[in-house]
Chain A
């Protein structure tokens, strides 16, 4: 299962970066979304993948007997998902507004502030 997820994460990163290198601003945002999902899945995988064994300390013991899935990374990605959701919503509003103002979604036409 870890191998499958590793491949999925790698593909998400690769696709995300590829999309971010395109000229369209919409694809740029999609790429950002894929990239942040890739890193969320990575953290998830780092907490180990174990089925049907809840990480609850049995009575009379002081720690959970392995193997168990670490719940902390799952709590972390919960935070990270909420943050990336909010940021993505902002980015969508931003490109919508930029499209209204500039009238294009081609990054090559957004160069008046460069040089």
Chain B
């Protein structure tokens, strides 16, 4: 029961939300209540998995490998908790910073469906169902991205839709070939049946097709161009939830497939790609001059760190990757939220038009500074420990080059965070008054503040402050989070537990 709740709760919330189509206040309430309920259910799941080991549910009581199975090991449970946390933070933020037009066009039910797709993708134990959950998630994200119909949004959406559909087609191709090869799609069963097969061209081809398909979704090195073209176009709340969650579903799929099904394929390539991803992402960020575009390029660079541990394929490396994902989802969402707060104050995302925020809004400056320094990896914030773990794992494995790249890139990350800091917060305010009197060059229907004004604006600050607090707590309680990440990594390294849970049945 604990397993199906993270899927059922968003589904029920979205259904009720669609029924209450015209009740804007109802939808706002439902968005928050549904997300909080999801958070409670997911924490319950994590506690269960931590205490009793991986959980499995045979849907319709058809035993594996014949039926559909939901399975949660520690990695899945952690990812579901993170998704729910981001859901709550973004729902609270949307109360203050989502315009009424989008709210009445079903923004809250759609974001619930997005959460359902993400949770389903984390919990499924079947490769074809993973495809279906991907599509659920993608459809919701397509609509959220295009909702509002501004020119920039539509241009970004065309690229986003094309590349993601192409990734889906490649994924489906790989699923078909895999079924032809071994005749099963249950992931645990696949792992069992593929292990005795000798290395062959077919196996490698399927592994690399999956690497490409998930790589497009995760935005790794040569496949990332859709991300900076689209992530800065929708409203802040939407881009924050995208930045926090969607690419990480691709990373999760990579972690799952390349530890469980193909533990012997492609890790050298993944390691090289991770280094290149870090470098290109951060160099792209340095060249940008727009708040959210800098952050978008940073997502790419951070994805490199997340798959670095997978490329090393040691328990320490995987633990580092998992810690990094935990840290990154919270920090990146928070950075996008603070960009929205800055936009609410000065009406622009362009660093040339921002300025002087530290003088006028010191608390906002602190809210930005915490996740920014965490992203760059300063102690005692969460990013420091995440990077430390990966660097240690790299040194243990003797991969000096990737360690050097990781350290260099984190310096460059600090540099570009300092750029946002000096431009938006430190330098004197721009001479021309904010956008209220001089309209921005690209017209935008985004209202700086929701009409209900200052009272609801507090919700935005509250959610950003909550995430900042989480970042600090992860840093201070690093020992506990590290224990969690290491236990999850051990489960990934030892697929036998996953396989036996899958076939043991209801627990």
> Taking A39-B172, A113-B229 as contacts, is the C-beta distance between A83 and B155 under 8 angstroms?
no
Q: A14 interface residue, CB < 8 Å from B?
A: no
Residue A86, interface by CB 8 Å: yes
Contact pick for A32, options B138, B139, B165, B230, CB 8 Å: B165
Binds A, one of B9-17, B23-31, B80-88, B156-164: B156-164
Residue from B138, B170, B229 within 8 A of A114 (CB atoms): B229
Given contacts A32-B162, A79-B132, A91-B161, A98 and B176 within 8 Å (CB-CB): no
Residues of A within 8 A of B40 (CB): none
Contact (Cβ within 8 A) A102 B165? no
Q: A35 at the A/B interface (Cβ < 8 Å)?
A: yes
B155–A94 contact, CB under 8 A?
Answer: no
Q: Knowing A86-B139, A94-B142 are in contact, say whether A113-B132 is a contact too (CB < 8 A).
A: no
Nearest residue, chain A, Cβ from B169: A35
The answer to the question of B135 belonging to the interface, with a C-beta cut-off of 8 Å to chain A, is yes
A94 contacts B135, C-beta separation under 8 Å: no
Residue B233 at the A interface, CB < 8 A? yes
* Chain A residue at minimum C-beta to C-beta distance from B165: A32
Beyond contacts A87-B165, A97-B154, A110-B155: 12 other A-B pairs, Cβ-Cβ < 8 A, are: A20-B166, A35-B165, A35-B166, A40-B172, A43-B179, A45-B180, A70-B183, A76-B179, A79-B128, A95-B158, A111-B155, A113-B230
A15 within 8 A of B: no
Cβ B173 vs Cβ A39 within 8 A: yes
Determine if A73 and B179 form an interchain contact, defined as CB atoms under 8 angstroms apart.
yes
Q: Which residues of A contact B128 (CB under 8 A)?
A: 76, 79
- Least CB distance from A24 to B in Å reads 12
A86: chain B residues at CB < 8 Å are 139
- Is the CB of B146 closer than 8 A to any CB of chain A? yes
Q: Judge whether A42 and B135 touch: CB under 8 Å.
A: no
Give the CA-CA distance A113 to B160 in the complex, in Å.
12
Q: A49 at interface (Cβ–Cβ under 8 A)?
A: no
Contact of A43 among B150, B157, B172 (CB under 8 A): B172
Q: Inside 8 A of A72's CB, which chain B residues have their CB? A: 179
Is the C-beta of A8 less than 8 angstroms from some C-beta in chain B? no
Which residues B125-162 have CB closer than 8 A to chain A? Answer: 128, 131-132, 135, 138-139, 142-143, 146, 149-152, 154-159, 161-162
Complex CA–CA separation, A102 to B173 (angstroms):
34
Closest chain A residue to B179 by CB distance? A46
Q: Which of the listed residues A40, A72, A94, A102 has the most CB atoms from chain B within 10 Å of its own CB? A: A94
Chain A residues lying within 8 Å of B328, measured Cβ to Cβ, are none
A90 interface residue per 8 A CB criterion? yes
Interface residues of A (CB under 8 A from B): 20, 25, 28, 32, 35-36, 38-40, 42-43, 45-47, 70, 72-73, 76, 79-80, 83, 86-87, 90-91, 94-95, 97-98, 101-102, 107, 110-114
Contact between A94 and B161, CB atoms less than 8 A apart: yes
A101/B151 in contact, CB under 8 A: yes
**Which residues of B have CB within 8 Å of A102?**
151, 154-155
**CB proximity to A under 8 Å, residues B155-202:** 155-159, 161-162, 165-166, 168-170, 172-173, 175-177, 179-180, 183, 185
Query: With an 8 A cutoff between CB atoms, is B232 at the interface?
Result: yes
Instruction: A2 to B175: give the CA distance in the assembly, Å.
Output: 18
Interface residues on B, range: 35 or more
> Is there an interface contact between B155 and A113, defined as CB atoms closer than 8 Å?
yes
Within 8 A of A (CB), among B72-131: 128, 131
Minimum CB–CB distance from B73 to chain A (whole Å) comes to: 25
Do the beta carbons of A101 and B158 come within 8 Å of each other? no
- CB of B151 within 8 A of CB of A112, answer yes
Task: Sample 6 A-B pairs with CB under 8 A, ordered by A number.
Answer: A28-B158, A35-B165, A39-B172, A46-B176, A95-B158, A112-B151
Contacts of A36 in B (CB 8 A): 165, 168-169, 172
Please name the residue on chain A nearest to B150 by beta carbon.
A101
What are the 7 closest A-B residue pairs judged by CB atoms, nearest first? A46-B180, A43-B176, A98-B154, A39-B172, A42-B176, A110-B155, A35-B169
Give the chain B neighbours of A39 by CB distance below 8 A: 169-170, 172-173, 176
Bound complex: CA A25 to CA B175 (Å): 28
Name the residue on B nearest A17 (C-beta).
B166
Residues 222-253 of B contacting A (Cβ, < 8 Å): 228-230, 232-233
The residues of B that contact A113 with a CB separation of less than 8 Å are: 152, 155-156, 159, 229-230, 232-233
Q: Give Cα A86 to B131, complex, Å.
A: 15
Given A20-B162, A36-B165, A114-B229, answer yes or no on A87-B176 (Cβ-Cβ < 8 Å): no
List the B side residues contacting A101 at CB < 8 Å.
Answer: 149-151, 154
